[in-house]
Amino acid sequence: MSFEGSSLLGGATEGENTTVCVSLTLPQRLVGCAFCLAMGMILDLGAAGRVVLLIKGNPQPFVVFFTFGSLLSLGASCFLSGPTKQASQMFDEKRRVASAALLLSISLTVVVASLLRGMPGQAALLIALLLAQVLAQGLYLLSYVPFGPEMLRGACEALCAAAKRKLCGGGEASSDRHGAWGLV
């Protein structure tokens, strides 16, 4: 069985070449994807070692490592579906918000790190943007999981309801009514 010219995340329509990796075999595509994911994680971990520089006012090393790590992780799926299909899937209705948030947070991180040097509160703003990158990337990845966004929404609603009960003293906290963890 040949996988040449087809997407692992949904087949190409007849006559459509959705990947530049047409000559790569399935194992080669999987290795490419795994390599990009691993390198992205290594760069993200490398960024952690540069947090002190970020706080001391030199954000570039941290931002470069973290942002390239995010981009490599995002680009890993290009080995599976191809860059054209990846780009079109990023802006499907169910991924549009997550994709825009991810790309915007990456762009703003680079802008704040490069153009707003020495700005008071730059480190705090960059940390907030980097957290936004992480959250947006998680939401983006979750959009590929069947019913992923719905499960996340349900979990957030349950957590908010539990917090409201705890903070406002509303309702019983019995495990029979609210489930074993008091969340549902």
Average pLDDT, integer, range 130-155: 84
Q: What is the spatial distance between Cα 16 and Cα 80, in angstroms, rounded to a whole number?
A: 15
* Helix spans in 49-147 (H): 51-55, 60-75, 78-81, 83-90, 96-115, 122-142
For 135-170, b/e burial (b = at least 16 CB within 10 A) is ebbebbbbbeeeeeeeeeeeeeebeebbeebeeeee
More confident residue, 97 or 77: 97
Q: Rounded to whole angstroms, what are the CA distances from 110 to 18, 54, 64, 133?
A: 30, 13, 8, 12
For the stretch 90-127, pLDDT in tens is: 888 888 888 899 899 999 998 988 887 777 888 888 88
State the DSSP code for 11. Answer: P
pLDDT at 7 over 60: no
Q: 42 falls in which pLDDT band (50, 70, 90)? A: very high
What pLDDT was estimated at residue 166? 86
CB burial string 42-71: b at 16+ within 10 A, e below: ebbebbeebbebbeeeebebbbbbbbbbbe
Residue 20 pLDDT greater than 80, yes or no = no
Average pLDDT value for residue range 46-67 = 87
pLDDT at position 13, please? 42
- Write down the pLDDT at residue 170: 61
Least confident of 48-52, 114-118, 161-165: 114-118
pTM of the model: 0.66
